[in-house]
Amino acid sequence: MSHAHAVSIIRGLAMDAVQKAKSGHPGMPMGTADMAAVLWSSFLRFDPEAPTWPDRDRFVLSAGHGSMLLYSMLHLTGYDVSLDDLKAFRQWGSRTPGHPEYGHTVGVETTTGPLGQGFATGVGMALAEKLLRHRFGKDLVDHHTWGIVSDGDLMEGISAEAASLAGHLKLGRLIYMWDDNHISIEGDTELAFTEDVPARMRAYGWHVQKVDGHDPDAIARALEAARKVHDKPSLIACRTTIGKGSSIEGTAKTHGAPLGEEDIRGVKTRLGLDPDAHFVTTEAAYAHFHEARERGQAAHAAWNARMEAHPQAQELRQWLDRRPEEWLSALDWPEFEPGTSIATRKSSQAILEAMVARMPNLLGGSADLAGSNGTSLGLPSIGPDTMELPGTLHFGVREHAMAAISNGLSLHGGFLPYCATFLIFHDYMRPAVRLSALMKQPVQYIYTHDSIFLGEDGPTHQPIETLWALRSIPGLRVWRPADATESIAAWQGAVAWEQGPSAVVLTRQGLPVLTKQQTANAHRGAYILSEPDTAPEAVIIATGSEVSLALQAQELLAAASLPVRVVSAPCLEVFSEQPASWQDTVLPPSLPTISVEAGATQGWYRWIGRDGLAIGIDHFGASAPAEVLAEQFGFTPEAVADRIREHLSVRA
């Protein structure tokens, strides 16, 4: 009776909150209430008074549109989510937004909105647990990652990528319940989703069970069986009825709109609730989860005791702190010879090698491009039976999942994750990168082959528009260093910043190395790299490989008695955070400004003004050697100098 009553309360809260907000998704919480009640009462290990306890179980609601399920569970189990918070569902300033948001609502482990992201993020969490347990032992690291996923999650391609890698890595402590309700927004899933999901997941290496999603005993048996499988992730297909109990149960009509007062009254009557009462909770419902709460608190206390006596406890705390100052201060940054030529992807590799030698929790890899991305660091490969750290992750050709798994590694704690691919493939990763920024997770994204100058691979691989796509994401810092010394500044800035992700954008081709004195202010985002002998009449601002081009153009213009300043701008986001006095010193409002970047120009007008000149490429590239492309597209010193002279003569 206590389970049935708790489930009725969960369904009632979901209906009332959506009805009061006049928007939301009541069907999923009503259909999955049995699953959630069994999981939270008998399996999930948590401590509401210490919601970030490192050895807690993680719960991921990948089907984030059903957020009222999670908010109801958090409230009933004692987290700081009040009835007033539930009543403010989806309202301005509330702690119960339409989709769960990490850092906004206590107890929410990850932000889930785009379907499939939660599925893949949970894989990262489970991977972090397995790696840390191997490194520190089960006395300190011994927990599970649980989740509820939907038909929509399993349709998204990212879940296929993540499930494949999870099966390969034998993530046996990853257990997902599939809300198998056969309904999507447009109707029955027969419209577009008729594959044999259990067979697919078994082929990926998952342990799969099927149960009645409204039979609490069957759910509990399946969860217990999954918990005993140590070498495979688990999927439990829970056959459910969306909108369970309503007059339109089992239909798409219950998915994304309030049920209406009349229907809600009928459901409450059938559930044994007062049809005229709203947001009803009872002591019996709270009591149903009280034992689970006490179990979690006892487990937390026991873990604290083990930490007090464990010889590796201090080291684990350092890992969980993620950026111990002693590791960063002890780094031996590589030296690069001024005047020599080295691609920034190569200098970045040397920097990563120095970092991983001092930062054992720096963890990452590439989407099957390690040699090209500069992430072959000579470390052991991490695989299903080899979890040695430091090590290298092999994501395979799975850019979608790679970024979301990196989010999971970061959210779990203990790791500073990085992942790498060609810049052109950022678009495959964009939803997860956006969530990194939204959740303020310090994931490091390495993007190489950053412009048309990768050459012969042609326009399909030449990311002319991608830099500004990256820069348009709030909270993402985009570093595009001009040389090896700026690469050090870029990595120092990225690793030191804890409030969000960074993208380090690197060249395929060699670039001349500048001196430390020249680049001393690179950490400020943009700075004066080279002044003319006389007062400048204009400013060239450039990034990445185009900085050396700007310096060559400066020499040509000087020979023509036109003195110009060259500004290097490795990170416009950091520059925008500098005091106005610094910005005006670097880019005086009184001087005409010209930007030079081998990519789209639209974002430059913030910095150069309406009357400025943006030298870039606003069309797709071509397949040819890099030097030919430079000639054809106007990225030679002579072409840049000519355009600047022409622009200034017109202004005059």
Contacts of 483 (CB under 8 A, 6+ apart): 336, 342, 344, 347, 511, 512, 513, 514, 519, 547, 548
Say how far apart CA 528 and CA 540 lie, in whole Å: 10
DSSP state of 381: B
Q: Is the dihedral of CA 290, 295, 299, 304 positive or negative?
A: positive
Helices (H) and strands (E) in the chain, counts: 26, 20
Say how far apart CA 228 and CA 320 lie, in whole Å: 28
CA 640, 644, 650, 652: dihedral to nearest 10 degrees?
-170
CA neighbours closer than 13 Å in the CB half-sphere of residue 295: 14
- Out of 399, 486, 546, 597, the active site residue is 399
Q: Are 219 and 44 in contact (CB under 8 A)?
A: no
Contacts of 114 (CB under 8 A, 6+ apart): 156, 431, 435
Residue type, 578: Q
Residue 646 burial class via C-beta count within 10 angstroms: exposed 0-12, middle 13-18, buried 19 and up: exposed
Please state whether beta strands 510-512 and 341-343 pair in parallel, antiparallel, or not at all (unpaired): antiparallel
Say how far apart CA 288 and CA 22 lie, in whole Å: 30
Say how far apart CA 488 and CA 350 lie, in whole Å: 10
Rg (CA), the chain: 28
Say how far apart CA 35 and CA 153 lie, in whole Å: 17
Say how far apart CA 609 and CA 162 lie, in whole Å: 44
Q: Look up 399 and say whether it is catalytic.
A: yes
Phi, psi of 355 (to 5 degrees): -70, -45
Say how far apart CA 262 and CA 549 lie, in whole Å: 71
Q: Are 11 and 244 in contact (CB under 8 A)?
A: yes
Enzyme catalytic residues:
399
